[in-house]
Amino acid sequence: MRAARALGILAAAAAAALASPLSAGASPLGGGPSAGAGPSAVIASPEGLPVSGPSGWACTYTNPEYMIHSGGATLAVQPGAVRFTVTNAPSGQWSDPYITAGYDVDLNSQLCDSRVLPGGGGRHGWSYALPARLGGTGAIVASVHDVTSAGFHGDTGFDIWFEPSPAVNTYNEMTNQGAAATEIMIWLSHPGLGTQSSNPRYYPVRIDGRQWQVTVQLASGGYGRSAAHPNGWNRVNFIAPQVSEGTVSVKDLFLNPFFSYAAAHGWLRASDYLMAIDQGAEFTHGTMQVAGYALTGVK
């Protein structure tokens, strides 16, 4: 999940020493790097410069502050705006650019709190305080305006991570917690990707006035297990019927009921910590942009 006036030598050096990104190289079936992915440097972009590479990142310079994570693509960013445009992405490989509140590339978006806001008279931004225990947040509501290009193949929406301990906050740790870790994805659009639920009794379901299909892959069934991550993690997808390319717009989507639905089925615990809320895309073809994004309710 996703720097500042040259970003400060100390912050950049600390970032470069950290391990693999939280969700670089992700696919809809993996939610993160392939099994063979190893540690990589975390590269922070100076204010306003393009963000690129598997683990490039920048701050939004807004209130609240967010981190923008490149996820293998090249992004155009604009300080003072919660949006980005994908200007280039490798065809045939998974890219996953996101705007993040919380942890991404093993960094917390609170790092952006030290950035002086453009035209702000020396004022600093602030980011949402994550991790936060479920029940300790308010009503989390999001409005999204994403736009995908012709030929886009992938999904747009949310990637949301939960852990029983706030100390488990790197991708490698979070994907090796077994049933203790849960990733919830909310696909707002998914051209080129299937929608068939893994268990018919879980769909269709109506949440916040909208219809969703649900797919579930659990660590207890082997999801995410590999030589590098022998325990895996739980993954729950809420999939909207919309699959077309172009504009994907959702206003005031209430996220808490998705968490409650997962908890009611035993895929999430009420005592878990909300680690990150990512909004963006995972795709192998085409380009996209987050043209507008607003998130409220995280303290």
Residue 162 domain-assigned? yes
Residue 1 domain-assigned? no
Tokens 């999939």 appear where? 239
User: What is the radius of gyration, based on Cα positions, of the chain?
Assistant: 18
Question: For residue 293, what are the β-bridge partners?
Answer: 144
CA dist 102 and 66 (Å) reads 8
For the chain, how many structural domains are there in total?
A: 1
Above 90 in pLDDT, residue 201? no
Sign of CA dihedral 163, 169, 175, 176: negative
pLDDT at position 196: 66
pLDDT at position 152: 95
Tally of residues, the chain = 299
Q: Which domain holds residue 130?
A: 9-296
Residue 222 domain-assigned? yes
Q: With contact defined as beta carbons under 8 Å apart, do 10 and 3 qualify?
A: no
Given the DSSP bridges, would you call strands 233-239 and 178-189 parallel, antiparallel or unpaired?
parallel
Smallest CA-to-CA distance from 236 within 193, 189, 275, 202 is with 202
Secondary structure, 3-state, 182-246? EEEEEEEECCCCCCCCCCHHHCCEEECCEEEEEEEECHHHCCCCCCCCCCCEEEEEEECCCCCCC
What residues contact residue 149 under an 8 Å CB cut-off, 6+ apart?
245, 286, 287, 288
Given the DSSP bridges, would you call strands 74-77 and 67-69 parallel, antiparallel or unpaired?
unpaired
Above 90 in pLDDT, residue 5? no
CA–CA distance from 30 to each of 131, 183, 290 (Å)? 22, 10, 22
pLDDT tier at 12 (50, 70, 90 boundaries)? Answer: very low
pLDDT at position 124: 87
For residue 201, count CB atoms less than 10 angstroms from its CB and return exposed for 0-12, middle for 13-18, buried for 19 or more. Answer: exposed
Residue 4 domain-assigned? no
CA dist 246 and 26 (Å) reads 22
What residues contact residue 183 under an 8 Å CB cut-off, 6+ apart?
31, 159, 160, 161, 162, 174, 233, 234, 235, 236
* Poorest-pLDDT segment among 106-110, 131-135, 150-154, 198-202: 198-202
For residue range 116-151, what is the model confidence (pLDDT) as tens digits? Answer: 888 778 888 899 999 999 988 999 999 999 999 999
Provide the CATH number for the domain around residue 249. Answer: 2.60.120.180
Encoded tokens for 24: 């670089």
